[in-house]
Amino acid sequence: MADRFPEGFLWGGATAANQCEGGYDLDGRGPSLIDLIPAGPDRMAVMKGEKSYRDVPADARFPSRFGIDHYRQWKEDVDLFAEMGFKCYRFSIAWTRIFPTGEDETPNEAGLRFYDGLIDALLAHGIQPLVTLCHFDLPVALLERYGGWKSRRTIDAFLRYCRVVLERYRGKVKYWLTFNEINMLMHLPFGGAGAVFEPGEDPDKVKYQIAHHELVASALAVRLAHQIDPANQVGCMLAGGTYYPWSCDPEDVFAAIGQDHVNYFFSDVQVRGRYAPYAVKMMARRGVTPQMEAGDEQALAEGTVDFVSFSYYSSRCISAHPEKTGAMQTTNAARTLHNPHLASTQWGWQIDPLGLRIVLNNLYDRYQKPLFIVENGLGARDTVEPDGSIHDSYRIDYLRAHIQAMEQAVNVDGVPLLGYTAWGPIDLVAASTGQMSKRYGFIYVDLDDEGRGTARRSRKDSFYWYKQVIATNGADLGDSGRLR
Ligand code: BG6
């Protein structure tokens, strides 16, 4: 049977330190942004910066501090990924394991040893590491000293951290991402980038200044990665999802273009090396043009990415007159109209496999860079049967449909795609809700929303299904999804 995906296609899974590692106080790790974000009713308000992290009661539950205990159970987790036949594993390095306060004189050896072990184990299994340098992460010390990314000192601290890990893993890690979902900053300014708005500050102005600092940091990190090892491939990462116009009314169509501009604001810079004309005009019109320093333009121009990666959970929909067209809802932090043509998950995120093919086409038409789907999946409640089995056919159906759409984008539309790493191959803490019950995994983790349970790992039906998908390089997607 001939392969339906390119040879060497990077099948695998993606996690983030802040949602799986736990061990927040082990081996010298310093406090990080995510440790301050509670579960429960305050979570969104804190992520959006509407409620200060300083006002969260100390006895609130902070689920990322414990995650799924991956920091201690990582060997078993990697063995399970290997058993599924992963070719690639995306994870993030926790900045505060390497520099606990962001500005320590020397890096924390114990933290580095953790990633040494993880990366060596992956390579021993023939799994290519894909490292996110910053996934919703920031040393709290930098936040308190300088206001985090408001200050250019955070750029310097970030680059010091990047240099350490890029040098340490030279020749071992080839694929890197700078900032996870960098555009999330506009929707969840605290959760995405640690933005805190002090009284009297204009939140919009702060956000665009922070955006500029992160873009400069990202470009300098790309340049550094190329200097340290010319074989390094560095990508940007955006929360993907095309905006559909509610109707063919040209005003709706134009509203969708406007929303896509918001979405592409960052990746346009990261791919092209300069702000897009619509962005320059918009920032000037709104009085939020960031302060730039000599050298910034050159840094942006020289630090363009090698590939474009993105997460995809759903498409979005907008009208010029949303008040007339129905209720808005939130999906992966993006505001969208409810699309009557699509079904929804238990968390109300709408399911749109063709939307993935649309995004792949849009991104390739726009950038002509190789693409990488680094997150996609279904957050759903699972039931453990008395014999311990978990029959998650709904997850298989979701993933199968998206893989079929991706296959069409590759083989029919000619989109160059490096790989597909499903989000949360092992259940982990949901970023938006802090819940464990919103499960994405092929591997079940016995923990509930209160953090109670054994943290024992077990295989769901989707585990065996994904193993077969990878073994056949996507040719066998299960009975109803067999590609030929
Ligand atoms: C993306 C993030 O926003 O979506 C992940 O990069 C996150 O960190 C994922 O977990 C799914 O969102 P959620 O809220 O269901 O965990």
Q: What is the pLDDT of residues 355-373, one digit of tens each?
A: 999 999 999 999 999 999 9
Query: Would you give the end-to-end CA distance of the chain in angstroms?
Result: 9
Task: Inform me whether the pLDDT recorded for 352 exceeds 70.
Answer: yes
* The two structure tokens encoding residue 314: 């759903």
If you average pLDDT over residues 170-182, what whole number do you get? 98
Q: Please state, in angstroms and rounded to a whole number, the distance separating the CA atoms of residues 49 and 62.
A: 17
Please report the pLDDT score of residue 363 as a whole number.
98
Q: What is the pTM of this model?
A: 0.97
pLDDT digits (tens, 9 = 90+) for 103-114: 999 999 999 999
Of all residues in the chain, the percent with pLDDT exceeding 90 is 93
Query: Above 50 in pLDDT, residue 22?
Result: yes
Helix (H, G, I), strand (E, B) or coil at 360: helix
Indicate the range of 130-139, 194-203, 347-356 predicted with least confidence: 194-203
pLDDT mean over 220-237: 98
3-class DSSP state of 431: coil
- The residue whose CA is least distant from atom 10 of ligand 1 is 431
DSSP one-letter string for 109-130: HHHHHHHHHHHHHHHHTTPEEE
Domain range list for the chain: 10-374+403-421+433-440
Higher-confidence residue of 2 and 263: namely: 263
CA of 100 to the centre of ligand 1 (A): 24
Residue 458: φ, ψ to 5°: -150, 160
C-beta 430 within 6 A of ligand 1: yes
What is the pLDDT, as a whole number, of residue 482?
Answer: 55
Type of residue at 364: Y
What does 266-288 look like in DSSP terms, one character per residue? HHHHHHHSS--HHHHHHHHHHT-
Which H/E stretch holds residue 407? helix 393-411
What class, spelled out in words, does domain 10-374+403-421+433-440 have in CATH? alpha beta
Q: Is the CB of 92 under 6 A from ligand 1?
A: no
For residue 418 the two structure tokens come to 């490096």
The CA 15 to ligand 1 mean position distance, Å, reads: 9
pLDDT in tens, 426-442: 999 999 999 999 999 99
Task: Please list the alpha-helical segments (H only) found in 368-460.
Answer: 393-411
**pLDDT band (50, 70, 90) for residue 331:** confident
Looking at 287-352, list the stretches that DSSP marks H as alpha helix, in order from N- to C-terminal side. 296-302, 322-325
The helix/strand count (H/E) of the chain reads as 16, 16
Judge whether residue 242 has pLDDT over 80.
Answer: yes
Sort 323 into a burial class: Cβ within 10 Å, 0-12 / 13-18 / 19+. exposed
Mean pLDDT of 75-97: 98
Residue nearest to atom 9 of ligand 1 (CA): 431
The pLDDT of residue 326: 75
In the block, tokens 């993880």 appear at: 118
| Res. 243 pLDDT band, cuts 50 70 90 | very high
Q: What residues contact residue 55 under an 8 Å CB cut-off, 6+ apart?
A: none
Q: What is the pLDDT confidence band of residue 254, given thresholds at 50, 70 and 90?
A: very high
**Which residues have a catalytic role annotated?**
375
Report how far Cα 273 is from the mean position of its chain's Cα atoms. Answer: 22
Look at ligand 1, atom 7, and give the residue with the nearest C-alpha.
431
CA atoms of 83 and 186, how far apart (whole Å): 39
Alpha-carbon span 266 to 277, nearest angstrom: 13
Would you state the pLDDT for residue 333? 73
Task: Tell me the backbone φ, ψ of residue 477, rounded to 5 degrees.
Answer: -105, 20
Does the Cβ of 308 fall within 6 Å of ligand 1?
no
- Is the C-alpha dihedral spanning 15, 18, 24, 26 positive or negative? positive
Could you tell me what percent of the chain has a pLDDT over 70? 98
CA 106 to centroid of ligand 1, rounded, Å: 32
Q: Which amino acid is at 30?
A: G
pLDDT at residue 3 tops 80: no
With CA atoms as reference, report the closest residue to 409 among 329, 333, 355, 470: 355
Q: Is the CB of 218 under 6 A from ligand 1?
A: no
For residue 428, report the distance from its CA to the centre of ligand 1, in Å: 10
Q: What is the DSSP letter of 203?
A: H
Statement: residue 323 has pLDDT above 80: no
**Confidence bin at 328 (pLDDT 50/70/90):** confident
Q: In whole angstroms, how far apart are CA 31 and each of 108, 139, 144? A: 14, 6, 11
Identity at 196, one-letter amino acid code: V
Say if ligand 1 is within 6 A of residue 177 CB. Answer: no
Least confident of 1-10, 86-95, 248-257: 1-10
What 3-state class would DSSP assign to 84? coil
Q: Which of 432, 435, 439 to mutate to test the pocket of ligand 1 (most atoms within 8 A of CB)?
A: 432
Question: Among 1-5, 240-244, 291-295, which stretch is predicted with the lowest mean pLDDT?
Answer: 1-5
Look at residue 1 in the predicted model and tell me its pLDDT: 42
Q: How many CA atoms lie within 13 A of 383 on its CB side?
A: 5
Tokens of 53: 């992290």
Whether the CB-CB separation of 355 and 312 falls below 8 Å is answered with: yes
Is residue 186 helix, strand or coil?
A: helix
Give me the residues paired with residue 176 across strands: 131, 234
pLDDT at residue 429, as a whole number? 98
Q: Is the CB of 438 under 6 A from ligand 1?
A: yes
| The predicted structure's pLDDT at residue 2 | 41
Whole-Å CA distances, 313 to 184, 331, 388, 481: 14, 8, 29, 20
For residues 39 and 61, the answer to whether their CB atoms sit within 8 Å is yes
CA–CA dist 231, 222 (Å, integer)? 12
Q: Using CA atoms, how far apart are residues 78 and 12, in angstroms rounded to an integer?
A: 11
Q: Which amino acid is at 285?
A: R
On average, the pLDDT of the chain sits at 95
Mode of pairing for the β-strands spanning 371-375 and 417-423: parallel
State residue 329's pLDDT score.
79
